[in-house]
A and B are shown apart, each in its own frame.
Chain A
Amino acid sequence: MLGALGDWVAIDLGRIEGLATDQASLKAAAGLAKPGKWSGVGGSADGALIWGECAGSGANPYRVMADLRDLGNKCTCPSRKFPCKHVLALLWLNAEAVVTFAPEDIPAWVSDWLGRRRGTSAAPVGAAAKPASDAPKDLRAAQRAEPEAPEDPKAAARREASAAKRSEDTERAILDSLDALEQWIGDQLRMGLAAFIDDATARCRRIAARLVDGKAAALAGRIDELPARLLGQPAGDRPRAAVVELGKLVLLARAFRAAPRDADIRRAVASSENRETVLASSDTVRVTGLWEVLAEQVQTRRDGLVSQATWLLNLGSQGPRFAMLLDYFPASAGRRTSAFTPGERFSGEVAFFPGRNPLRGLLLQRAAEGADTQDWPEAARDLAEALTAPLHAEPWILDIPVLLPPGRVARDAAGQGWWRPADATMALPLAEGVEGLIRGTELTRAAALWSGNRLAILAAQTPWGRIGADG
């Protein structure tokens, strides 16, 4: 049975058992093989391909796809198991016809995967790879609910006490590491910012390592990337940029001391809440509406992680104007399939991490949007205010998303690009890399990130249609 799909190959549960690396994977897949966990499920008209999106712990649902001809598969989750539980769950949904895999146009992300696949594509299922493990695996056993052991009140109390102790230790460690950070900042001033700029990479690495030991992982990651931000500036601007960067670190350290349990501040210093915590919080803002994908920024960080930030524009009138979906995965996991295509629009619900300026979010569900003609919203009336207001609430933040009014790109004699509004009342210097069409057309609206001294355009509306930063 293949749901609504064609006549390619039927997949049986035995094949899924054989494909799983271990019984634990099957157990985890059993928990995901439920219609409520999935969206965007579909298949190719010939029944050879199936795909779907499964909510995971990341900011984006994972994109899962499989080729039923040879059980080749791919998932965007960072799991090192192959296949992961999401793939097994997708196959399971298909094998047992738990959901209907309606024939649809094959999405670009599935086509992209097909193009990168290695190994045989047309080999019959019977000739597919042998099971990943010889250990006995059983789907039916995976489906059985484990009997829950009765709660031991004493054990629960011990766990709570232990958690409180851990939290206290963590806070103490962070405060100690912030002391070290401030001392380090003072040292940089004493030794001179010129020397700091010349040796920023090594110096920042050392203090970042100290911060990692002191449980201030988020701050460590930020400081690890500080040299790249600094050296991305023209040489003449670097002392000023160093003052801004280091000044923000002082502010953040002081803010943590004043309010160590504040969610915004803790996220900037230690770590982010997990998905469950965000969803459970009463302060979480949830916005359901129409979203446009502005751009995706993928950056390999010095700590070996790749950050994948997807910027969304809220086309509706309710809720924050922008959302940023941020995921991390190890660089060693290889290139990761993009979750979105710039310019793509979808209806969906975003849950924002609680904060003063809600920006980072989790995409809870989405559905492809049909042909819509909704324009981008109006730009901020007071641009100067839009560029600085978030800093009043969180003076340590690095990038401020902003919707710009009509304007265009201009250049000075040195070739530096500037964005200038149509009324030419101001001009903002552009980050490097503005090439092509975007330099030769009116930007009727532009979405950009303001870093305090450089503007990075993410996307723009123009007489040529919507274009990206490299358009």
Chain B
Amino acid sequence: MAEAIHDALGQVLARWTMGSTAAPVAPVWKAEIGEDPIEAELRLLALSGQFLGMAVIAEPPADLRALPDLPALALPTLPDAARPLARRVLAKGDARHKRSLAQFAAGRGWTLHPADWMPAASEEDAPDVYAPWRDWSEAAATGSGSKRGGSDGLTAANWEDFWPAARNAALAELRHRDPEAARVLLETRLPGEGADTRLRLLGQLTQGLSDADAPFLETVAAGDRAPKVKALAASLLARLGRGPAVGEETTELAGFFTLGTKGLLRRSRTVAANVLKTHAQRIRRQTLFAGADYTGFAAAMGMSGEELAAIWQWGDDVLADIELAGMAGRSASDAIVAELCTALTEHSLPNLGALLALASRIGPTQRASIAQRVLRAGGSYQDALVIADAGGRVEGVTDVPAEAALLHALGSADARPGDHAAELQALGMLASRAGAQKALERLVRGAGLLQADPRLDMLRLNAALEDRGVQG
């Protein structure tokens, strides 16, 4: 019976779809629907609807495929008690903000729960610990159910077995553990990859860069097909002091500065930016900085890179400071970058643009230390966060001008509920756990904020989240 109904329904549906009467093609229900043509159609509709709704379910295709299990990460997910707060923090921001929270959590030795946040495959800024989830997302997006990647270390032989994000993370780990082996692996596999991937992979050499990498980098700088890859190889060579010889443009750049001396007894050299009179001059100097390397510029000024770092007059020309820092961040050695950072932060309120240009070249501990100096020098929490980059390990976030300003503003009679939310959020991302606990107490007692104030969510999460002492 059911089969006969099922067979008849094809025609019934076809007729109704076109606007014809269907009762004549449903003899199986002749007795139930009766003779009256209008009533018969309605009864047939009721019966057909009931049959289709109860007995007919779409047939699953034979090619159904389940995605592989989402892999567990190397770090545990946040404790259940912390997840509601993390969800509230996540709900307040864009993708970048969410990645910052992921980075904060990873800095403490945790990962976000996948039901709360997962990086998209394209989110290269996500902490490396999330690489398996990025690859899983890519597999999901491409409809691939295959499982790739293994527990073995990355080698030339198993290169293709890794999904891109996991491969990148594995290469970073190898470079950290055995820089020589990582470079040899790149020598073998780099030519077979696309330009964007080559650029990303070559960037891994910034870690542990040494003279041993120079021959490979020279080959890439001379022969790679992509200008961006060649430029990266050239800048890495420059960091090793193997930049191009001083050319006309570098000499022209040096002409924008004047060497002088100071001191009567112990005369020392100084370098001062010439006053720029036109917009065209500013653009020209900017262009020349963008194309020059640090060592070459120092040579054109007639000194070593170390001497230039020591005598540069920070604060006289803010734009020149940023341009020099950008050039150094791209092409100076690690030692020079560290020296420039130290010199820069000794100023009363460091040039944040210049610091930011150098920040990507220094480690998290030094960044935290510089962020602390920025705070002591009168910078805001948001300024310091730009430098520390959601590290969640900056000590000394209280008893600084930023805190006094915040307490004053939040405690004033005309303070409104949404005021200073970004500054409080930055404080929460920045502070060490102990610092967060102390800041929280002061904000509640000193500024009269409620513990439950949503602006304190990040700070409360920070204060509650154990530091497992593992970097993600």
Please encode chain B, from 48 to 69, with 1 for each CB lying within 8 Å of some chain A CB and 0 for all others.
Answer: 1110111111101101111111
**Given contact pairs A44-B450, A388-B54, A411-B65, A120 touches B416 in the complex (Cβ within 8 A):** yes
A45 touches B451 (CB 8 A): yes
Q: What A residues does B45 contact at CB under 8 A?
A: 185, 189, 243, 246-247, 250
B115 touches A391 (CB 8 A): no
Q: What A residues does B69 contact at CB under 8 A?
A: 440-442
B452 touches A114 (CB 8 A): yes
Cβ-based interface call for A240 (8 A): yes
Q: What A residues does B257 contact at CB under 8 A?
A: none
Q: How many A-B residue pairs have CB under 8 A?
A: 190
Cβ-based interface call for A254 (8 A): yes
Q: What B residues does A114 contact at CB under 8 A?
A: 417, 450, 452-454
A121 touches B415 (CB 8 A): yes
B451 touches A44 (CB 8 A): yes
- Could you tell me the distance between the alpha carbons of A105 and B52 in the complex, rounded to whole angstroms? 52
B417 touches A246 (CB 8 A): no
Q: Which of A340-378 contact B (CB under 8 A)?
A: 341
**Given contact pairs A48-B450, A108-B84, A439 touches B67 in the complex (Cβ within 8 A):** yes
B46 touches A115 (CB 8 A): no
B52 touches A240 (CB 8 A): yes
Cβ-based interface call for A49 (8 A): yes
**Given contact pairs A418-B60, A464-B113, A193 touches B16 in the complex (Cβ within 8 A):** yes
Q: Interface size for chain B: under 10, 10 to 19, 20 to 34, or 35 or more residues?
A: 35 or more
Q: What B residues does A243 contact at CB under 8 A?
A: 13, 16, 45, 48-49, 52
- Could you tell me the distance between the alpha carbons of A240 and B453 in the complex, rounded to whole angstroms? 52
- For the complex formed, measure the closest distance between the CB of A191 and the CB atoms of chain B, giving whole angstroms: 5
- Could you tell me the distance between the alpha carbons of A251 and B38 in the complex, rounded to whole angstroms? 15
Cβ-based interface call for B414 (8 A): yes
Please encode chain B, from 421 to 454, with 1 for each CB lying within 8 Å of some chain A CB and 0 for all others.
Answer: 0000000000000000000000010001011111
Cβ-based interface call for A225 (8 A): no
Q: What A residues does B68 contact at CB under 8 A?
A: 440
A440 touches B136 (CB 8 A): yes
Which of A144-152, A156-164, A420-428 forms part of the interface with chain B? A420-428
Cβ-based interface call for A264 (8 A): no
Please encode chain A, from 421 to 449, with 1 for each CB lying within 8 Å of some chain B CB and 0 for all others.
Answer: 00000111100000011011110000000
B450 touches A427 (CB 8 A): no
| Tally of contact residues, A, Cβ under 8 A | 71
B115 touches A464 (CB 8 A): yes
B414 touches A120 (CB 8 A): yes
Cβ-based interface call for A471 (8 A): yes
B115 touches A468 (CB 8 A): yes
**Given contact pairs A190-B19, A426-B60, A251 touches B54 in the complex (Cβ within 8 A):** no
- For the complex formed, measure the closest distance between the CB of B287 and the CB atoms of chain A, giving whole angstroms: 46
- Could you tell me the distance between the alpha carbons of A243 and B45 in the complex, rounded to whole angstroms? 7
Chain B's closest residue to A127 (CB) is B413
Among B61, B113, B118, find the residue whose CB has the most chain A CB atoms closer than 10 A: B61
Chain B's closest residue to A450 (CB) is B57
- For the complex formed, measure the closest distance between the CB of A402 and the CB atoms of chain B, giving whole angstroms: 13
Chain A's closest residue to B448 (CB) is A122
Q: What A residues does B38 contact at CB under 8 A?
A: 186
Q: What A residues does B64 contact at CB under 8 A?
A: 410-412, 418, 420, 427
A186 touches B41 (CB 8 A): yes
A429 touches B54 (CB 8 A): no
Cβ-based interface call for A213 (8 A): no
Please encode chain B, from 67 to 86, with 1 for each CB lying within 8 Å of some chain A CB and 0 for all others.
Answer: 11110000001001000100
Chain B's closest residue to A389 (CB) is B54
B16 touches A189 (CB 8 A): yes
Chain A's closest residue to B43 (CB) is A250
Cβ-based interface call for A319 (8 A): no
B66 touches A420 (CB 8 A): yes
- For the complex formed, measure the closest distance between the CB of A118 and the CB atoms of chain B, giving whole angstroms: 7
Q: What B residues does A442 contact at CB under 8 A?
A: 69
B50 touches A427 (CB 8 A): no
- Could you tell me the distance between the alpha carbons of A194 and B16 in the complex, rounded to whole angstroms? 8
Q: What A residues does B58 contact at CB under 8 A?
A: 237, 429, 453
Cβ-based interface call for B47 (8 A): yes
Ordered nearest first, which 3 A-B pairs have the shortest CB separation?
A247-B49, A192-B19, A115-B454
A residues near B, CB below 8 A?
Answer: 44-46, 48-49, 106, 108, 110-112, 114-115, 117-123, 182, 185-186, 189-195, 237, 239-240, 243-248, 250-251, 254, 341, 388, 391, 395, 408-413, 415, 418, 420, 426-429, 436-437, 439-442, 452-453, 464-465, 467-468, 471
CB-defined A-B contacts under 8 Å, sample of 18:
A111-B453, A114-B450, A120-B415, A120-B417, A190-B21, A237-B58, A239-B13, A239-B17, A248-B49, A248-B53, A251-B50, A395-B50, A413-B61, A420-B66, A429-B60, A436-B115, A441-B69, A453-B57
B residues near A, CB below 8 A?
Answer: 13, 16-19, 21-22, 38, 41-43, 45-50, 52-58, 60-61, 63-70, 77, 80, 84, 88, 113-115, 118, 136, 140, 143, 411, 413-417, 444, 448, 450-455
Given A121-B417, A195-B19, A395-B50; 18 other pairs, CB 8 A cutoff: A49-B450, A111-B453, A118-B416, A182-B42, A185-B45, A186-B41, A190-B19, A192-B16, A193-B13, A237-B58, A239-B13, A247-B46, A247-B49, A247-B50, A251-B50, A391-B54, A441-B70, A453-B57
